[in-house]
Amino acid sequence: MTRAQLIEQIHLKKSFLCIGLDVDLDKIPKHLLEMEDPVFEFNKQLIDATHHLAVAYKPNTAFYESYGLKGWQSLEKTIQYLNQKYPEIFSIADAKRGDIGNTSTRYAEAFFNNLEFDSVTVAPYMGSDSVEPFLAFKDKFTILLALTSNKGGLDFQAQDVSEDRQLYQEVLKQSLTWKNKEQLMYVVGATKAAYFKSIREIVPDHFLLVPGVGAQGGNLQEVCKYGLNKEIGLLVNSSRGIIYASNGTDFAAAAQQKALELQKEMAVIMETSL
């Protein structure tokens, strides 16, 4: 998918909502557990119920890997279903990978070629040559961890690396020197909306993936106040707040309702801000 196509979808749907598919067998409706692939069935019904309200879906690979081979199969089926039925949706493998060059190429092949995701999240610790292999894939996006929303996020990301710069800012700055930098997006934690201003000074045009609206405590209004740019430039994620809205047989309808509330809020923000 291209950047232009993503932006078009955002305007069509009046939504920049991303739904995180972090599927936990202990939390999904009990009646699904009798099916052959409960995880896929859960995702399928969720996607069918919310695809018109969201522009992106983000399975977190950890949840699938924790179920072993069966989990990887559920992930494969989910992305195949999404790509076939809703090719207009932007897909994110939330995998937080990153390794030396030839190995990062393998991860990129895994997520871009084999599973056919549009994007993958990548950790910056190993530097330029651990990220550039992902950027070499045309019409695919690399979503680099910049500032994360967890408590320990500041342990290293907020270290001063010079008089006027913290590590997350250095990551942003250096990343702009990398080959195919226009295929970068960034993970920016929603619980730190005050940081958005400094981030937008460095990367005014790139998309930011903002996790943590909902369960992690982020506030949509504040995120948008500082994070929106003239092409929207935000993908705001909600996982648990949507997918576990109900654990009864009405889970998909309940998820739809929660997604609709966020989409409506986004539509108002888009109308008043742009």
Q: Contacting a copy of itself (CB under 8 A), which of 80, 159, 219, 249? A: 159
Cβ distance to a copy of itself smaller for residue 157 or 238: 157
User: By C-alpha distance, which of 90, 141, 149 is closest to 112?
Assistant: 141
Catalytic residue among 44, 77, 96, 181: 96
Output the smallest distance, CB 76 to a copy of itself, in A: 6
Question: Taking CB under 8 A as the rule, which mask of x and - marks residues 3-42 in contact with a copy of itself?
Answer: -------------------x--------------------
Tell me if residue 96 is catalytic: yes
Nearest distance from C-beta of residue 241 to a copy of itself, angstroms: 14
51 neighbors 89 (Cβ within 8 angstroms): yes
Task: Give the length of the chain.
Answer: 274
Under 8 Å between Cβ of 239 and 214: yes
Which residue of 43, 50, 91, 149 would you call a contact of a copy of itself, by CB under 8 A?
149
Q: Least CB distance from residue 14 to a copy of itself, whole Å?
A: 29
Give the residue from 33, 34, 15 showing the smallest Cα distance to 24: 33
**Residue 94 in 3-state DSSP?**
strand
Return the bridge partners of 141, or none. 119
Nearer to a copy of itself, 2 or 114 (CB): 114
Cβ–Cβ under 8 Å, residues 274 and 24: no
Query: Tokens 């040559």 — which residue?
Result: 129
Work out the number of other CB atoms within 10 angstroms of the CB of residue 241. 19
Where does this chain bind a copy of itself (CB under 8 A)? 22, 60, 62-63, 65-69, 71-73, 76, 94, 96-101, 103-104, 106-107, 109-110, 114-115, 123-131, 145, 148-157, 159-162, 167, 170-171, 174, 216
